Each structure stands twice: as C-alpha cells, then as structure tokens.
Chains A and B, each alone.
Chain A
Amino acid sequence: MLSTVENTEGKPVADIDLRKEFSEVGIGEVLEQLDRELIGLAPVKTRIREIASLLLIERIRQRMGLSAETPTLHMSFTGNPGTGKTTVALRMANILHKLGFVRRGHVVSVTRDELVGQYIGHTAPKTKEILKKAMGGVLFIDEAYYLYRPDNERDYGQEAIEILLQVMESQRDDLVVILAGYGDRMDKFFASNPGFRSRVAHHIDFPDYGDSELMWIAELMLKEQNYHFTAEARDAFARYIAIRKTQPLFSNARSIRNALDRIRLRQANRLVADLDRIVTADDIQSIDAADVLASRVFDKPSTPEGKS
C-alpha cells in the first residue's frame, strides 16, 4: 500500500529503460499539462523540467543502490502577485507524488496566521498541527516573509520558524516545504534567516506576464466559463490591460480574473436591463465592448479617453 520506492533496498537493479521509466511515472503528462494550461512562465517551466529530470534520475539512482539519501526538495517561489505560484505548487506536488518523493501528493496552503499563535505556548502546537496535516504532501507557505518580523524581537514567528526548520531537516522524506512570496522581500527574509536559505534547494523566480500573455490568459479563463469576447471587446480589453498595468495594486492574472468577474456582472446586468427580447445562446456567451469599457479603469484622467 505504501510507496514502493523505498522497499526495493537490498536488490539493486542493474539497468533501467529510461523511456519506460519516464512513461511509467507519468510525469510527462503533468509537464505537458503545465505547458498547455499555464501561459508564459518559460523560465519557470524550464526549471520545473530540470527538477523533474533530476528527480527521475535520483529515483533511478536510488533503485540502483547508488544513493540512499532523500534529496532536499524544499523550494522557494518568488514573484509578484498573480504570477501562478500557487498553481505551480499544486503541479509540483503532483510531480513529486508521481515520482514517489511524497507519499500522498496533497498541498496544504498556509499563511502566517495559520502557523503563528497569539500568546505564549500557542505557536508550537499550531505549527505542529499544520505540519502534521501536511505530512506526506507539500506545505505551501504563502508570503513566507511575514513569519519573520525583525522589528519585534518577541514576535512568535521566530518560534514557528525554528519548528519548521527542525522538521524540514529531520523529516525530509515526509514533507516538502515550498515558500512563496514577493522577490525582494523573500531575499530579505532569506538574508536574515540563513537556516532557510541553506535548506531550500531550488529557488524559482516567476516573471511578470506580458500584455499578450495576459490577453491569452483572459481568453482562456473566458473559454473555461463558456464566454467569449466580441472583436471590439477584445480590443477594449487589450487597452484595459495596458492601462491597468500602470495602475497600483496590479496583480497579474489575479487582476485579470477579477476584471473578468466584474465584466461578467456588467454583461448580465446589460442583458437583464432589456427584458423584452429573445436572447440566443450567443448573446449569453458574448461579451461586448460596452461591458469592458464601463470599467473604472478607463475613468482615470491620466489615460487617453477614447469612446468606441
């Protein structure tokens, strides 16, 4: 019932068909899915491919009896908000599970609140509870730099960090920790916690999306929900992206998702406003330029006002 990777000790295999091994573990599909469903992120995909290959070889080495140690798999994902860190973490868990480096392949996603307690003696049980839940899978700590608050030396975050470090070291074959956060703040976090830096094997940086990539993402999201842009709406949305990017609090794909949610709201409102007509499936599915252009983003005085 348990993973079979460890159970082969004592009878090392002499040779292994690499192609067969690759198709057997089924990571090819996961990688393909990653390519298909995640737009852009070329450097991330390359790194994940590299890690997957490394782990495949490592798995073969273990079976040949060439290495017994579990490799350090803890990772850090840095990048701006909405660049797909959580999505990639889910895929990573899948890859690790298929290769047998984690036994269950589930992801427990937490932030500071779930790890750090509010009074003395609260933090350790809280952190341990989360760690126990994550055992056999991946612990994804979003905005990990909040764990460390240098301005408050009595902050309980330090306690959580110590427990994390201890488990990351002693139970490497039971769970994989992925730390995520914005690039510059994660750098500071690692600089002040050298223990983490040395225990994290893979640092992956997530670049921001370009305009055309954001457009693809928007169209993919709409397609999943059975909507589509009309030609004018598409142009309007391209302008929307260009303007929205220059505004504060832009968080890549997440902003796009939120914008689409609001656009769907306006589209529904527009349809309901005129009750005395027959709507077709196409009406229901298509998003007009008016739905996009009603956005507040176009109101900003700094942007060229254009009515179409």
Chain B
Amino acid sequence: MRITQGCFSFLPDLTDEQIKKQIQYCLGKDWAVNIEFTDDPHPRNTYWEMWGLPMFDLRDAAGIMMELKECRKVYGDRYIRINAFDSSHGWESVRISFIVNRPKNEPGFRLARQEVSGRNMRYTTTSYAVDLPEGQRYNGA
C-alpha cells in the first residue's frame, strides 16, 4: 500500500529534477531545509530521524541534493522526506514536507480491533513492517 503523507504524495514520485525545483522554491523563501528518514511510517509518527545536521543559510538546492544522494546511499530502503522550516515570526514551523524516497515494497497497515466493555470496539492501525526490528524492516523486500 502506497503511503500518502505530506505534500505531493498522491502524485507519482517526484523525479530528482522536480525535487530540486521544490527545494529551490523553499530556499527562495528563506526556509531551512532538512532531510529525515524512518522505517516506521505510521501517520502519527511525526518524529523521523534527521540526516546529518539541519542546513541553514543555503542558497542553492545542489547542496541538499548532495546530502539526499548520501542519505539514499545509506538508507535507500527506508522512507526519506524533505522538510522546510520557516523561522519567520508567526510561522516558526514546518511549511512543507514531502517524501522523496520510499521502500520498493510497502506492505501497508493492519487494522486491529479490540473488543471493550459493552459492545464497543476500538480500532488501531499498525504497519506490517514494524513487526520486524528496527533496521531490518524493509531489507530485501
């Protein structure tokens, strides 16, 4: 199941050229762009791991593309996303976030039902991938 989180996730995967243009748009607005990765793509998992350091004061997307290439080399089998943070007063938050890399095989989510008091039901979703320990989740998939 294809995960749809962040911007552009209902579109076909962005090409590197398109990613570069999006990053350049962010830099043009003076947002700080960083790269994050994870192998636990639950929609409520907002804390992905950061690749390297946040990148401030960049002028051109080439620098971030260089880091993205490095990140893909190491974590090419995980989800990688790009965030752009707007530090200006009143915003002070992430303005755009989009996935730039996904595993070849995305097993999707299971819906777990729990019967509770009365005839009530509780629902929760779990990614099939997280049954395996961290770091092995998308290997060889």
Chains A and B come from one and the same complex: yes
State the A residues within 8 Å of B (CB).
1-2, 103-104, 106, 125, 129, 131-133, 135-137, 171, 174-175
Inter-chain contact total with CB atoms closer than 8 Å = 45
B53 touches A135 (CB 8 A): no
> Interface segment, B8-16, B59-67, B92-100, B114-122?
B59-67
CB of B90 closer than 8 Å to a CB of A: no
Shortest beta-carbon distance, A73 to chain B, in Å?
15
Chain A residues contacting B59 (CB-CB under 8 Å) are: 104, 106, 133, 135-137
B21 touches A135 (CB 8 A): no
**Knowing A125-B53, A129-B53, A133-B58 touch, does A1 contact B63 (C-beta < 8 A)?**
no
Q: List 18 A-B contacts (CB under 8 A).
A: A2-B21, A2-B24, A104-B59, A104-B60, A132-B55, A132-B64, A133-B59, A133-B63, A135-B59, A135-B60, A135-B62, A136-B59, A136-B60, A136-B62, A137-B60, A171-B62, A174-B60, A174-B63
CB of B140 closer than 8 Å to a CB of A: no
Shortest beta-carbon distance, A140 to chain B, in Å?
14
B21 touches A133 (CB 8 A): no
A135 touches B58 (CB 8 A): yes
Chain B residues contacting A133 (CB-CB under 8 Å) are: 57-59, 63
**Interface majority SS on A: helix, strand, loop or mixed?**
loop
* Residue total for B at the interface (Cβ-Cβ under 8 A): 16
In-complex Cβ contact of A1 among B21, B52, B66 (8 A): B21
Report the separation of the CA atoms of residues A1 and B41 in the bound assembly, to the nearest whole angstrom: 33
> What 0/1 readout, one digit per residue, does chain B (3-40) give for beta carbons within 8 Å of chain A?
00000000000000000010011000000000000000
Report the separation of the CA atoms of residues A2 and B25 in the bound assembly, to the nearest whole angstrom: 10
Shortest beta-carbon distance, B22 to chain A, in Å?
11
A1 touches B58 (CB 8 A): no
In-complex Cβ contact of B52 among A2, A125, A171, A174 (8 A): A125
Chain B residues contacting A174 (CB-CB under 8 Å) are: 60, 62-63
Shortest beta-carbon distance, B42 to chain A, in Å?
30
Report the separation of the CA atoms of residues A131 and B64 in the bound assembly, to the nearest whole angstrom: 11
Shortest beta-carbon distance, B134 to chain A, in Å?
24
Chain A residues contacting B63 (CB-CB under 8 Å) are: 131-133, 135-136, 174
A132 touches B58 (CB 8 A): yes
Shortest beta-carbon distance, A124 to chain B, in Å?
10
Report the separation of the CA atoms of residues A175 and B25 in the bound assembly, to the nearest whole angstrom: 19
B24 touches A1 (CB 8 A): yes
Interface centre among B52, B55, B58 (most CB of A within 10 A): B58
Chain A residues contacting B53 (CB-CB under 8 Å) are: 125, 129
Which residue in chain A gives the minimum CB-CB distance to B64? A132
Which residue in chain B gives the minimum CB-CB distance to A170? B66
Chain B residues contacting A175 (CB-CB under 8 Å) are: 62
Chain A residues contacting B61 (CB-CB under 8 Å) are: 135-136
Chain A residues contacting B24 (CB-CB under 8 Å) are: 1-2
Which residue in chain A gives the minimum CB-CB distance to B63? A132
Shortest beta-carbon distance, A56 to chain B, in Å?
23
Report the separation of the CA atoms of residues A132 and B21 in the bound assembly, to the nearest whole angstrom: 16
Which residue in chain A gives the minimum CB-CB distance to B57? A133
Chain B residues contacting A1 (CB-CB under 8 Å) are: 21, 24-25
Report the separation of the CA atoms of residues A189 and B126 in the bound assembly, to the nearest whole angstrom: 59
Chain B residues contacting A104 (CB-CB under 8 Å) are: 59-60
Which residue in chain A gives the minimum CB-CB distance to B70? A128
Report the separation of the CA atoms of residues A174 and B53 in the bound assembly, to the nearest whole angstrom: 21
Report the separation of the CA atoms of residues A136 and B60 in the bound assembly, to the nearest whole angstrom: 5
Shortest beta-carbon distance, A102 to chain B, in Å?
9
Chain B residues contacting A2 (CB-CB under 8 Å) are: 21, 24
Extra pairs beyond A103-B60, A103-B62 (13, CB < 8 Å): A1-B25, A106-B59, A129-B55, A133-B57, A133-B58, A133-B59, A133-B63, A135-B58, A135-B59, A135-B63, A136-B59, A171-B66, A174-B63
Shortest beta-carbon distance, B14 to chain A, in Å?
15
Interface centre among A104, A106, A135 (most CB of B within 10 A): A135
Shortest beta-carbon distance, A94 to chain B, in Å?
15
Chain A residues contacting B25 (CB-CB under 8 Å) are: 1
